[in-house]
Structure 1
Amino acid sequence: MNTTRRRSQRDYSLAFKLAVVDQVEKGEMTYKQAQERYGIQGRSTVLTWLRKHGQQDWSPAALLFVRKGAAMAKPDLPLTPEQRIKELEQQLDEANQKAQFFESVVDVLQKDYGCRVVKKRSGKSSRKSRSRA
């Protein structure tokens, strides 16, 4: 009589789980490759380990954030100075591109349509205020 014992998550030691999670998070292999390499039967077992023991944020809000195309980083971890500089340089580059775009739109309006676009100073409204006597 051939009886095979069905394995469960309890059969894997915590050290083994952490080692697999570490390898997957470092990018050494995908979770499917880890599953094949170590003979892990369940399709979602490694994913469960990643959620429990990994460094990534698996909360619903974080997953929604990732689906929108944002970078996957923990928002509560402080950035290193190098990361902050890179982030600020990207924001500056984007702001410069927007400024160039808006300047070209103003130029087209002035040259092609004869419209004069004037930036209003803050605190000034386009309506004249009426004093009530």
Structure 2
Amino acid sequence: MKKTTIRYSEAFKRQVVEELERVELPNMTSAREKYGIKGRCTVRNWIKKYGKEHLLPRQVRIEMPDEQREVKKLKKRIRELEAALVDSKVKEVLNQAYFDLICEDFGVANPDEYKKKAAAKLSDEEK
């Protein structure tokens, strides 16, 4: 079964948006229902296309002052943690490069095998 694509003429699109603007249609859902428009965002896209954003519903968020402070504090903490993560990654890359250079200087053929042996030796010493 093939998917049917419905194309709407420019005149039809403008008519729907104009009816919304003149409040002949109370909202986008009623426009979809009246004209049998299937897409949930189709009318919204037409409104944006024709520069009538004032017809789109707005979301208003009301916060208490301490909620705003908490959000700012949490965003700052996220930035700090992201910076710390970047620093940690840089140190990890540098340490790996130093380790590879030292292994090369001392003639260690397999650095990964050396790491395993060193880790085993350290865990034995801790016991």
Which has the larger share of helix? 2
The verdict on a shared fold, with TM-score over 0.5 as the criterion, is no
With the length of structure 1 as denominator, give the TM-score of the two structures: 0.37
With the length of structure 2 as denominator, give the TM-score of the two structures: 0.39
